[in-house]
Structure 1
Amino acid sequence: MTLSTEKSTARPLSTNRIPQEAFDWYDEYAHGDIDRRTFLSRLGTLSVTGLTLSVVAGALTPNYALAEQVSFNDPDITATYVEYDAPHGHGKARGYLVIPKNVTPNNKAATVLVAHENRGLNPYIEDVARRLAKAGFIAFAPDALFPLGGYPGNDDEGRAMQKTLDGNKIEGDFMDAATLLKNHELSTGKVGMVGFCYGGYLTNALAAAMPDTIHAGAPFYGTPAKSNIDNIKAPLQLHFAELDKRVNDTWPEYEKVLKANKVDYTAYVYAKANHGFHNDSTARYDEKNAELAWDRTVAFFKKTLNA
């Protein structure tokens, strides 16, 4: 096990002047601990020369025009929306499937299940799936909001919608997606999983619930599984943000269990990074740390899934 703290470059001038309290309040808001009115009210108490309430709020709110690193028209990939049976979840589910163009029945590829945050399948997560396909993996990103019509186009509404769903059924939808990937005609049968925030929790949860299906897990700032942790067999690469106290407080006990069960894991803590630092659509994005974490993730999957 390796636990290290990476040095971070400063945020861009437009965002590095935002006080840490604002990031902490946004985290509370994004996870439903406070409502939007309270969040904006707190922002209004900040006194930062040259930054208005609207500027700060706008910097913290996702702008998905910034999140596309791989075009859906990229000639190296084919991206489609696929419905699938989800008997362990909502019965029917839907996700974003991205396949490298060079993958054929005679040239199969390992697969990676991508788990979104607590607001549905937004453009950032779709872009993550495309990045994985560019790296040579079949990637599939389910949308937990499909039973309610799918991601609505904005995070506030998506967050409210996801809160109304049965968490066990969401987990079931993702479990059935993992099975779909394992059995896909173009799959080698190896399944990795990466997730962010709530998706990080899902990554931990599926590694515990499906030890014979999930072959590698890379949770980003995710809390531990609620049950079956002793069943985890897959190697894990865990990514934490130094300033993310809420999630980091859950790590020591989780680590004890992983050590006791001799799970092969590596944990990284990224200095001065906030929860959500990999999401390139908000001011929480930390480019240097995000790229380092992503390079590590891709290398981890290549090592564990292509062996």
Structure 2
Amino acid sequence: MASPANGYAQAVQPIAPNTIHTDTEGLIAEDIQIPTSDGAIYGYYAAPEGGQSLPTIVVIHEIFSVHEHIKDVARRLAKLGYLAIAPDFFGRQGDVSQLADHQQIFTEVVSKVPDAQVLSDIDAAFDWATQSGLADPARLAVTGFCWGGRLTWLYAAHTDRIQAGVAWYGRLASKTDPLHPQQPIDVAAHLKAPVLGLYGGQDAGIPQDQVSAVQEILKDAGGPSRIHVYPEAGHAFYADYRPSYKPIEAEDGFTSLRDWLRTYGVS
């Protein structure tokens, strides 16, 4: 499948003037094809030049797929020494990059993407990375933003393959359906890898009572997983290309991600 976007998705235009751009000096950053059980999917990866057996992280995109922001996140992680892989999880259902309306993206594409498909595609991304020799299979993690934040929780309950996960403002509770049979609140007590949740206290789409409910579940489960709430941040506070960006909280969140991965051996 071809790259779903060159630059930024139409739905997020115009782009903020101070958007972060991470260069590729010292990195390899390329488009790839990731084999899956029903054909190859598009992906983008970034890694230190000459790296082998690297700590590896799959970046799970927002509803805008693998546009420039997600590619830049991969390069930021590569600058820290990671192999970062960003697969396109929407390609079978459609190309969201040219859709300008958020509701249209949800209705025509996102709602039709089965959770099982995404979990399998993440497995396939790790398979590609391991078989390439670039990844150390004992040092794997996932991180995701918004739509991808929700899938981060689900993947950490799906498998014991990873050592850690970091979920950025992913939905925690909502209606289920045959394609989306569980929500993070349903699996929070059964995580197989420690997850750090990074959430905004002013996020209108993720009520604080849901955040508190999941925090209680995590506490009762007795594991290391936890949620950190930034009281003054709203949704998408890490998205430097959007008006929602909160630079102080975003920088702290990225530092917390780095420290979380190091704590659980993914460094």
Which category of TM-score, normalised to the shorter sequence, fits these structures? 0.7 to 0.9
Determine the C-alpha separation between the residues in 2 that align with 1:252 and 1:142. Answer: 31
SS of equivalent residue, structure 1 residue 146: coil
Q: Please report how far the alpha carbon of residue 155 of structure 1 lies from its aligned counterpart in structure 2 after TM superposition.
A: 5.3
Once the two structures are superposed, what CA deviation does each residue of 1:78-136 show, in whole Å capped at 9, x if it has no partner? Answer: 1111112222xx543221111111413xxx21001101112211111110011000110
Q: Are positions 1:69 and 2:21 aligned together?
A: yes
Q: Are positions 1:120 and 2:61 aligned together?
A: no
Alignment of 1:83-232 (within 5 A): 83-87=33-37, 91-104=39-52, 108-148=53-93, 150-153=95-98, 156=101, 159=106, 161-163=108-110, 165-168=112-115, 169-189=117-137, 190-210=139-159, 212-224=160-172, 226=183, 227-232=186-191
Q: Please report how far the alpha carbon of residue 272 of structure 1 lies from its aligned counterpart in structure 2 after TM superposition.
A: 1.5
Name the aligned partner's letter for residue 26 of structure 2: D
Once the two structures are superposed, what CA deviation does each residue of 1:120-177 show, in whole Å capped at 9, x if it has no partner? Answer: 1111111001100011000001112322564525653755543353323234323432
SS of equivalent residue, structure 1 residue 290: helix
Change (3 A) 1:64 1:215: farther
Determine the C-alpha separation between the residues in 2 that align with 1:222 and 1:283. Answer: 18
Match of 1:241 in 2: 200
Which one has a larger percent helix, Structure 1 or Structure 2?
1
RMSD across aligned C-alpha pairs, in angstroms? 2.5
**Structure possessing the higher radius of gyration over alpha carbons:** 1
Determine the C-alpha separation between the residues in 1 that align with 2:126 and 2:189. Answer: 20
Alignment of 1:282-297 (within 5 A): 282-297=242-257
Change (3 A) 1:158 1:184: farther
Q: Please report how far the alpha carbon of residue 70 of structure 1 lies from its aligned counterpart in structure 2 after TM superposition.
A: 0.6
SS of equivalent residue, structure 2 residue 112: coil
Once the two structures are superposed, what CA deviation does each residue of 1:13-34 show, in whole Å capped at 9, x if it has no partner? Answer: xxxxxxxxxxxxxxxxxxxxxx
Name the aligned partner's letter for residue 259 of structure 1: K
Unmatched 5+ stretches in structure 1: 1-59
Change (3 A) 1:285 1:257: same
Determine the C-alpha separation between the residues in 2 that align with 1:65 and 1:94. Answer: 28
Change (3 A) 1:153 1:166: closer
Contact 2:119-2:158 within 8 A present in 1 as well: no
Change (3 A) 1:182 1:263: farther
Determine the C-alpha separation between the residues in 2 that align with 1:187 and 1:96. Answer: 15
Once the two structures are superposed, what CA deviation does each residue of 1:174-206 show, in whole Å capped at 9, x if it has no partner? Answer: 343244345541211111111111110010010
Determine the C-alpha separation between the residues in 1 that align with 2:150 and 2:83. Answer: 22
Contact 1:178-1:213 within 8 A present in 2 as well: no
Change (3 A) 1:153 1:304: farther
Q: TM-score, normalised by structure 1?
A: 0.70
Name the aligned partner's letter for residue 80 of structure 1: E
Change (3 A) 1:163 1:267: closer
Contact 1:98-1:129 within 8 A present in 2 as well: yes
Change (3 A) 1:215 1:256: same
Contact 2:143-2:165 within 8 A present in 1 as well: yes
Q: Comparing 255-264 with 78-87, which one deviates more in the overlay?
A: 255-264
Runs of 4+ in 1 over 6 A off after TM superposition: none
